[in-house]
């Protein structure tokens, strides 16, 4: 019964999505570098050991298509799997701070990030930084809240600003006032623009082009079986590209390696990205350029 209800709601969202996107997005008046009609970032989250074990294979795949990427890494995993994470450093990709223990995950199932006090939250940020400096040789420029979305917190922006981060990438696009581009999150509500605002940027993750409300990530596509059949994943990606092209938006995507490595549609996405008329860049590169 619940499955049928979900299918019905998805069907309704699919019908409404074109109008919802039209009402939400605004034309981006800034021209992206390298003549790109839109900007594209492909990032990966390493929440599970299965994801970490696939880093070497994933990096080899990214090399095949010459795609730069951003990798949201968990500090404890960085410490324990130095060899795997060294592949990220070797190809010159960006490592994003994804907390030290990833609360509400396999390493720390008894805490939730948005329920942590400010001191405990800052510990998660700082301890991950220490692990990053040992393995990647530098402090990260960006942060992604564990599970982000509903588990994101207003408190984390104060910590990130204090520690001079360039950006957070912890929101679902259509829950914000982004309108399709990076924005300075408000100090009263990080979903909104407006004064007073933080100096750092929020880089929202793109929402599902078909269903509008959920994040367009591999969990939505594969675990909820929204786009799990052959070609559905790639076709949804192409629809997202079409939206980004029309409005000159920032197409910020993230996937879990355990869902996409070895998937034919994912290789089609990489092949498309390698030939796209887009600025394909890391999250840090986008943030640095936008802040100029």
Contact 17, 209 (CB under 8 A): yes
Least confident of 3-17, 71-85, 153-167, 243-257: 3-17
For 75-96, what is each residue's pLDDT tens digit?
A: 999 999 999 999 999 999 999 9
pLDDT attached to residue 8: 41
Rounded percentage of the chain residues whose pLDDT exceeds 70: 93
Residue 69 has pLDDT above 50, yes or no: yes
pLDDT attached to residue 150: 85
Rounded CA-CA distance 278/274 in Å is 9
- pLDDT confidence band for 4 (50 / 70 / 90): very low
The residue ranges of DSSP E strands in 108-161, in sequence order, are 142-143
> Among candidates 12, 33, 45, 16, which has minimal Cα distance to 174?
16
pLDDT attached to residue 231: 85
Q: Which residue has the higher pLDDT, 8 or 284?
A: 284
Count of the separate structural domains present in the chain: 1
Residue 243 has pLDDT above 90, yes or no: yes
Asked if residue 12 belongs to a domain, the reply is: no
Q: To 10 degrees, what angle do helices 55-65 and 82-90 make? A: 10
- pLDDT confidence band for 227 (50 / 70 / 90): low
Rounded percentage of the chain residues whose pLDDT exceeds 90: 88
Average pLDDT over residues 44-60: 98
CATH number at residue 207: 3.20.20.370
Asked if residue 131 belongs to a domain, the reply is: yes
Q: Which residues contact 250 (CB under 8 A, 6 or more apart)?
A: 28, 38, 39, 41, 180, 181, 182, 203, 244, 286
Asked if residue 265 belongs to a domain, the reply is: yes
59: tokens are 């990096």
- CB-based contacts of 103-110 (< 8 A; 24+ apart in sequence): 103/146, 104/146, 104/147, 104/151, 105/47, 105/48, 105/74, 105/146, 105/147, 106/47, 106/48, 106/49, 107/74, 107/76, 107/77
**Whole-model pTM?**
0.93
pLDDT attached to residue 5: 40
Asked if residue 139 belongs to a domain, the reply is: yes
Residue 1 has pLDDT above 60, yes or no: no
Rounded CA-CA distance 25/5 in Å is 28
281: tokens are 């860049």
Rounded CA-CA distance 264/231 in Å is 8
User: To the nearest whole number, what is the mean pLDDT of the chain?
Assistant: 94
Asked if residue 161 belongs to a domain, the reply is: yes
207 strand-pairing partners? 215
Range of the domain at 206: 20-291
Asked if residue 7 belongs to a domain, the reply is: no
Contact 132, 123 (CB under 8 A): no
Rounded CA-CA distance 114/104 in Å is 10
Asked if residue 252 belongs to a domain, the reply is: yes
Q: Is the dihedral of CA 114, 117, 118, 120 positive or negative?
A: negative
Residue with tokens 């700082």: 126
Asked if residue 56 belongs to a domain, the reply is: yes
For 192-220, what is each residue's pLDDT tens digit?
A: 998 899 999 999 999 999 999 999 988 78
Cα-to-chain-centroid distance, residue 216: 9
- pLDDT confidence band for 254 (50 / 70 / 90): very high
Rounded CA-CA distance 134/151 in Å is 28
The alpha-carbon radius of gyration of the chain (Å, integer) is: 18
Q: Which residues contact 50 (CB under 8 A, 6 or more apart)?
A: 257, 258
Residue with tokens 């409404």: 16
Average pLDDT over residues 38-58: 98
CA dist 101 → 124, 128, 146, 223, 282 (Å): 7, 8, 9, 23, 24
- pLDDT confidence band for 228 (50 / 70 / 90): low
Rounded CA-CA distance 129/136 in Å is 10
């Amino acid at each position: 019964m619940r499955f049928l209800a979900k299918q019905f709601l998805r069907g309704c969202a699919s019908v409404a999505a074109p109008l919802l996107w039209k009402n939400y997005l605004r034309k981006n008046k800034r021209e992206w570098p390298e003549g790109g009609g839109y900007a594209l970032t492909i990032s990966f989250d390493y929440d599970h050991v299965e994801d970490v074990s696939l880093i070497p294979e994933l990096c080899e795949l990214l090399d095949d298509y010459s795609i730069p990427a951003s990798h949201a890494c968990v500090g404890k995993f960085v410490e324990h799997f130095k060899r795997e994470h060294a592949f990220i450093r070797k190809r010159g990709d960006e490592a994003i701070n994804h907390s030290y223990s990833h609360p509400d995950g396999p390493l720390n199932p008894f805490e939730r990030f948005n329920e942590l006090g400010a001191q405990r939250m800052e510990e998660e940020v700082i301890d991950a930084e220490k692990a990053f400096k040992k393995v990647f040789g530098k402090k990260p420029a960006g942060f992604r809240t564990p599970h982000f979305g509903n588990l994101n917190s207003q408190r984390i922006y104060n910590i990130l600003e204090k520690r001079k981060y360039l950006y957070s990438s912890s929101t679902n696009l259509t829950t914000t006032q982004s309108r399709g581009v990076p924005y300075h999150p408000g100090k009263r509500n990080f979903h909104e623009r407006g004064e007073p605002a933080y100096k750092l940027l929020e880089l929202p993750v793109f929402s599902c082009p078909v269903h509008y409300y959920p994040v367009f990530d591999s969990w939505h596509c594969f675990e909820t079986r929204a786009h799990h059949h052959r070609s559905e994943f790639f076709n949804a990606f192409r629809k997202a590209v079409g939206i980004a092209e029309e409005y000159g938006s920032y197409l910020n995507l993230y996937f879990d390696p355990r869902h996409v490595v070895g998937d034919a549609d994912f290789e089609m996405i990489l092949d498309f990205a390698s030939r796209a008329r887009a600025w394909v860049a890391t999250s840090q590169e986008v943030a640095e350029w936008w802040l100029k």
